[in-house]
Amino acid sequence: MGIIVNIFAGLIGPSVGQSLFGTWGPSLAGMSLIPSIAGAVIVVAVVSFFLGKKG
């Protein structure tokens, strides 16, 4: 999987994280940090699971 896909997934992650976990914890630039990081990790893991398979 390429770096472009990882960057894209990392940018989409904070939106997903705040949708799933809410807006709690410290904020930076209008985004809650803990849900944003968790969402980015989840999105990158899911994308790498589906696109990382070689078949």
Tens digit of each residue's pLDDT (9 = 90 or more) over 3-53: 888 888 878 888 888 888 887 878 777 778 888 888 888 888 888 888 776
Residues 11 and 28: their CA atoms lie apart, in Å, by: 15
pTM for the whole thing?
Answer: 0.74
For tokens 């997934």, name the residue: 9
* pLDDT given for residue 24 in this prediction: 81
Structural contact between residues 43 and 9, judged by C-beta atoms closer than 8 angstroms: yes
Is residue 55's pLDDT more than 60? no
